[in-house]
Amino acid sequence: MTAPVEVYEPFRAGLPPLRRYWRSLWARRSFISEYSRSELHSKHFDTVFGQIWLIINPLLLSGVYFLLIVIIGGHSDKIRYAHLTACLFLFYFVSNTLAGGSRSVVKGQKLILNTAFPRIMLPISAATIALIRFLPTVVVFMVIRTVIGLPVSWQMLWAIPVALITAIMALGLSILISCANVYFRDIASFLPYFSRTWLYLSPILYEAAQLKPSIRQYEAFNPLFPILDSWSRTMVHAKPPHMMSLLQGLAWATGILLIGVYYFLSRERDFAVRV
């Protein structure tokens, strides 16, 4: 009896059988949850002090920006501080998802080499971790806006679809950058500079309504611009977001997710020889 012959064919970009792939991914949803929890546990984010640090970091940053821009400028404004804090919390959600996603596939090298599973689980886990880290900051911001006496209305429920759109975009970015980092390892080193530049170009240190019309025409090139504007209107001003901004954010989020998933799945079988 002859031994079976195993043939290794060269990699070709292309999508796997999608129905079987999504079924396999859904069957491993408990693994995604446990993997995310283990990552949080390894970084001590499941402890009291770990949770406090998640809140203190962006809170201190918003305080520094408020000191530099508002108090030193001589225009103290509680609305400005609330806007800074709310938008920084949301921006850190996206930024943390990017940072975690960029390392997810490379960090899961041993799993990839020794276990057969849908590799897209790794950037999904990174996005799940960032979401878990984001949720306590929402509670903290609600306490802050109550203390400083901002108005409350049912229009604030619009924050739920805004947060959902942000989560879709963050997931798409995590999947996209996790795959790109396999081929271009310098992306992880460049990412902090990109995130800081993105922060300055987004309506965080300023409100979108304060921009001149000649500058606002460029907002269409920033995926986070309509989302942050909508988040500020709902969470800070207790007003409904502009429907056009909401639709623009949804279009950006859906497009990034579809591109990221396609790029990841078409290159996934090449990861074993790249990591």
CB 87 within 8 A of CB 180: no
> Which position has the token pair 């390894």?
42
pLDDT digits (tens, 9 = 90+) for 194-223: 998 999 888 888 887 777 777 777 787 899
DSSP state of 4: P
Mean pLDDT for the stretch of residues 8-25: 71
241, HSE (Cβ side, Cα atoms, 13 Å): 28
- Among 1-15, 31-45, 155-169, 249-263, name the one with the lowest average pLDDT: 1-15
pLDDT for residue 218: 75
Q: Is the pLDDT of residue 127 over 70?
A: yes
What's the pLDDT score for residue 47?
64
Asked if residue 40 has pLDDT above 60, the reply is yes
Where is pLDDT greater, at 128 or 269?
Answer: 128
pTM: 0.84
Is the pLDDT assigned to residue 13 strictly greater than 60?
no
Mean pLDDT to the nearest integer, 126-144: 87
pLDDT-derived band at 113, boundaries 50, 70, 90: confident
DSSP characters over 14-28: ----HHHHHHHHHHT
Rounded to the nearest integer, the mean pLDDT of the chain is 82
